[in-house]
Amino acid sequence: MLKNKLKDQNKDILVLGDVFLDIFQTTDILKISPERPVPVLEPLKSINLLGGAANVANNIKSIGGSAFLISKLSNDKISRTIKKLLADRKIGFKILIDKSYSSPVKKRIVQNDHQFCRLDDENYIKLKKKDEIDIIKFIKKNIRKFQSLIISDYSKGFLTPFLIKNAIGIFKKNKKDIYTDPKNKNIELYKYSNYICPNLKEFYNFFDYQKLPVTKKSISKLFNKTKANAFVVTRGSKGISVFFNKGKKIDIPQTDVNVYDVTGAGDTFIGIISYLLSNNIDLINSIKISSYACGKIVQKKHTAVLSFVEFKKIIEEFCENNFVDLLLKIRLWKLVKLKIGVTNGCFDVLHSGHLHLLSEAKKNCDKLIVLLNSDKSIKMNKGKNRPILKLNKRIQILKMIKDIDVIEIFEEKTPEKKISKILPDILFKGSDYKTAQVIGYKLITNNGGKVKIINKLKNFSSTKLV
């Protein structure tokens, strides 16, 4: 049942990776310097944002997911700022603090909403052995709390070969998926990741390191070395290429958008695709949604995330504008907490009573699904002289009613089988039924839903009219 498909939705996605502080210093130009032909800038406002793996976790949290972050930082003002930002966003974390570690900062000087230059204050400092062991022990102890793992590698020293291998091993042993955003040229470090998601440059680096040409045969060798399910390669405005073993490749185009700021777009992609895949959305649709989300991110300022409302709108638009089967729609709608309602009927000879029922039902839910009896089903219930209107005509008429989001046909005598697959939040029925008599009543109420009886208009009945 669909409820089980989403059973781990409240578990954390564990994010392992380097974190840093993104600072955006907005400025105004005062004059051109008399010393050199460069502008003299006046600082206006300094904006602190989460960067690196912390931004990945923030992207998951902002769209309604739950993330837990593990990383390392120094014992300084920057680390305290990062921890406060994480706490403010209610992102759980375990930060290994050591004064010998670096707290990386990427400071961007912004003038008139455009980046003027970037200053990186960071050092490569390898994670200490005692901290590696501490993290692995922590993951083992808490593995039941985690839904899946993201490796967010920025090559700042946190993700050592020992940590990567052992963290992946724990998740693999517990049959939980691993998603990797790689930086190291040695792809074998990420062995047993389910999905490896490099950009095009990082993908080519794998071949350079292995001294291989970029061919189908070489790609097959990379699969043999990693045991991955797929390589998901982002190519900027050219879209995304998905490589599978045995030579299969799927290219997914990117929608043209006006790019404002690409900062953090890679973090958005790995965060959202991991969240969708972790919640049993298939790979290709997860990629399409994540790509569309990134298209929204690059139109925003600075290191941005989607709000939950924005993500909900993306999901609604995706379901409306693409050929999406009913069960996938249901899964996506539930993921963004849209209230799903179901009603059913023959709708043979449509009348005002039907319209009243549908209108009142839609007022109580976000998405209304009508389960429509097939011609065969109507004959089982009403006799051989029904329906008056054949199925195609009834569908055509119902599609004209704005309150209906989905029309789904059922062949059986009752819609119970369909209801069990959908498991709506609310089941609607007219007042000629008692609540406990409604088909699917026990099923819905046992799964946390409810049945709502809608008072019918008097003297309106298809049976009476015919």
pLDDT greater than 50 at residue 443: yes
Q: Nearest to residue 278, comparing CAs of 50, 64, 52, 53?
A: 64
274 & 165 share domain: yes
What was the pLDDT predicted at 465?
A: 46
The reported pTM is 0.89
Task: Determine which one of 267, 348, 405, 425 is catalytic.
Answer: 267
Same domain, yes or no, for 131 and 268? yes
One domain, residues 126 and 248: yes
**Are residues 250 and 382 both part of a single domain?**
no
The answer to whether residue 1 sits within a structural domain is: no
Side-chain half-sphere CA neighbours of 60 within 13 A: 33
- 201 within some domain: yes
Within-domain flag for 69: yes
Percent of the chain with pLDDT strictly greater than 70: 94
Answer yes or no: 181 catalytic.
no
Asked if residue 40 belongs to a domain, the reply is yes
What is the pLDDT averaged over residues 458-464? 52
**Are residues 278 and 346 both part of a single domain?**
no
Last residue of a domain, one of 303, 326, 349: 326
Higher pLDDT, 466 or 352: 352
**Is 3 a member of any domain?**
no
pLDDT for 437 equals 87
Q: Give the residue from 326, 348, 371 where a domain finishes.
A: 326
Q: Helix H segments across 215-347? A: 216-226, 265-278, 283-297, 308-321, 326-335
Q: Is 368 helix (H, G, I), strand (E, B) or coil?
A: strand
Residue 333 resides in a domain:
no
Do residues 345 and 415 touch, judged by C-beta distance below 8 A?
Answer: no
Gap between the Cα atoms of 395 and 406, Å rounded = 10
Residues 321 and 400 placed together within one structural domain of the fold? no
If asked whether residues 259 and 355 sit together in one domain, one would say no
> Which of 269, 302, 326 lies at the terminal end of a domain, its last residue?
326
Taking residues 217-225, report their average pLDDT.
95
pLDDT at 392 (0 to 100): 95
CA distances from 333 to 124, 281, 316 (A): 43, 12, 8
Instruction: Indicate if the alpha-carbon torsion angle 405, 410, 415, 419 is positive or negative.
Output: negative
Strand partners, 46: 25
Can you give the pLDDT at residue 461?
A: 53
pLDDT for 410: 96
Residues 182-189 have a mean pLDDT of 96
The total number of structural domains that make up the chain: 2
Could you give the CA distance from residue 335 to residue 329 in angstroms, rounded to a whole number? 10
The answer to the question of residue 331 being in a domain is no
Per-residue pLDDT reduced to its tens digit, 389-408: 999 999 999 999 999 999 99
Output the domain CATH number for residue 378: 3.40.50.620
pLDDT bin (cut points 50, 70, 90) of residue 258 is: low
Q: What is the pLDDT of residues 314-339, one digit of tens each?
A: 999 999 988 899 999 999 999 999 99
Q: How far apart are CA 334 and CA 164, in angstroms?
A: 33
- Are residue 175 and residue 200 in the same domain, yes or no? yes
Is 334 contained in some domain? Answer: no
- In terms of Cβ atoms closer than 10 Å to its own Cβ (0-12, 13-18, 19+), residue 383 is exposed
Per-residue pLDDT, 260: 58
Question: Average pLDDT of the chain?
Answer: 91
Mean pLDDT of 146-167: 96
What pLDDT does 186 receive?
A: 96
Share of the chain above pLDDT 90, in %: 79
Domain housing 78: 8-326
255 pLDDT higher than 90? no
Pair 317, 390 in one domain: no
Q: Which residue has the tokens 């799903």?
A: 340
Q: What is the rounded (10 degree) CA torsion for 295, 299, 304, 306?
A: -50
**pLDDT score of 65 more than 80:** yes
Same domain, 228 and 280: yes
Is the pLDDT reported for residue 302 higher than 90? Answer: no
Residue 325: how many other CB atoms lie within 10 Å? 8
What does the block give as tokens for 410? 């059922």
Are 395 and 304 in the same domain?
no
267-289 pLDDT per residue, tens: 999 999 999 999 999 999 999 99
Residue 34 pLDDT more than 50?
yes
36 exposure class (CB count in 10 Å sphere: 0-12, 13-18, 19+):
exposed
CATH of the domain at 169: 3.40.1190.20
Average pLDDT of the residues in 436-456: 92
Residues 239 and 306 placed together within one structural domain of the fold: yes
Pull the structure tokens for residue 124. 């490569």
